[in-house]
Structure 1
């Protein structure tokens, strides 16, 4: 997933308005930021290395430390402990750790191949970006909209209904932001650009 991880931060937001929303966004994307750091360091390299040559189908990446299942539980535990140390709120800490774990759980359905622990361990993902990239993008689209409507429902229940303008904005951001990747599922970016 790409933007779907950001949408997942909406799930607990209604309950934790006293905390900055960016904390939930950050926690929902810890594995991604960790992966970018490891890719930069050459530990989890990406092939092809140029974004312009990549498609969802031809991109090869081994996310051993950032996105495999056992490391995801470890990251979630660390995130939960750090957030608890800072905010002293057990429920908020659990949610933050869960968002970190949810990132990888979602990527098992919509994402690249992930293993249980190391590269030689059991594959636990669908590897949907390789096998059915367009379908994977549509699943992310539906997941994001489900998160948005969960948030809208929870806001209404708490007596703070989401304005139509905000709802339309959320739907447009996630709808366009996700569906714009459909062509890049199988066509390299350089072939899509006019120059």
Structure 2
């Protein structure tokens, strides 16, 4: 999943605001953040290099260190300690750990194929991005609708009031994630629009994905705290 993980962060922040929204957003995408780091270290190279050639179905990356099962035990300890130390709270450490585990569970149903440790080890996950990208996106969309419905319903119960514009901004982040994924599910932008081959830094895949994550995080970080007194 991509946008779906952010929904878990919103719920965690709603229930445990001491942990801060930014921390929960980062933890919800912990594995992906390390994927980006390992990509640039040459440990998890991602293709196609040109983002205009990329689709959900044809993206190739062996996420051995960031997403495969065995390293998750080490990352889980690190995530718990980060929450525990940064906020001096075992509760926040456990919530961070829950977000981290939710990333693994959600990726099992909608994500790249992962393994125990290494490409030749036991497969962990359905690998629907490659097998059936549209089904993977549908699963993510259903999860996000359910999570956001719960999130806004709990806000209403607590007397939190948002403007229509503010609520639309939050929903828009998730809607954008789904629309973007559908637009490149199996057909690349190059094939769809007949784009020429370019040789510019802005059209490389991983930097584009990183920029997208930063933009989505920034909008949520700006919009979520903006509530109206009843």
Is the contact between residue 113 and residue 126 of structure 2 (CA under 8 Å) also seen in structure 1? Answer: yes
Aligned position for 1:29: 29
- Mapped partners of 1:172, 1:29: distance in 2: 19
Query: 1:93 — aligned with what?
Result: 93
Residue equivalent to 1:112: 112
Deviation for aligned residue 1:121 = 1.7
Aligned-partner SS, 1:150: helix
Query: 1:31: how far off?
Result: 0.4
Q: Could you tell me which residue of structure 2 aligns to residue 126 of structure 1?
A: 126
Which stretch shows the higher mean deviation, 63-72 or 172-181? 172-181
3-state SS in 2 of match to 1:60: coil
Measure the CA separation in 1 of the matches of 2:16 and 2:3: 21
Q: Give the TM-score normalised by structure 1.
A: 0.91
Structure 1 residue 39: deviation in Å?
0.9
Aligned residue number for residue 17 of structure 2: 17
**Mind listing any 5+ residue stretches in structure 1 that lack a counterpart?**
none
Q: Distance in 2 between matches of 1:38 and 1:180?
A: 24
Gaps (5+ residues) in structure 2?
A: 196-230
What is aligned with 2:52? 52
CA 1:15/1:56 → structure 2, altered by over 3 Å: closer, same or farther? same
**Segment of structure 1 superposing worse, 142-151 or 11-20:** 11-20
Separation of aligned partners in 2, 1:128 and 1:90: 35
Specify the alignment match of 2:223 in structure 1.
Answer: none
Number of residue-to-residue matches in the alignment? 195
Q: Does the 8 Å contact 1:156/1:162 carry over to 2?
A: no
- 1:84 is displaced (CA, Å) by 0.4
Q: Which residue matches 1:5?
A: 5
Partner of 1:177: 177
State the distance in 2 between where 1:37 and 1:136 align. Answer: 25
1:75 equivalent to 2:62? Answer no
Is 35-44 or 148-157 further displaced after alignment? 148-157
TM (norm. structure 2) is 0.78
State the match for 1:152 in structure 2.
Answer: 152
CA contact (8 A) 2:18 2:87 kept: no
Shift of residue 132, structure 1, vs aligned partner:
0.8
Contact 1:138 1:179 in 2 (8 A): no
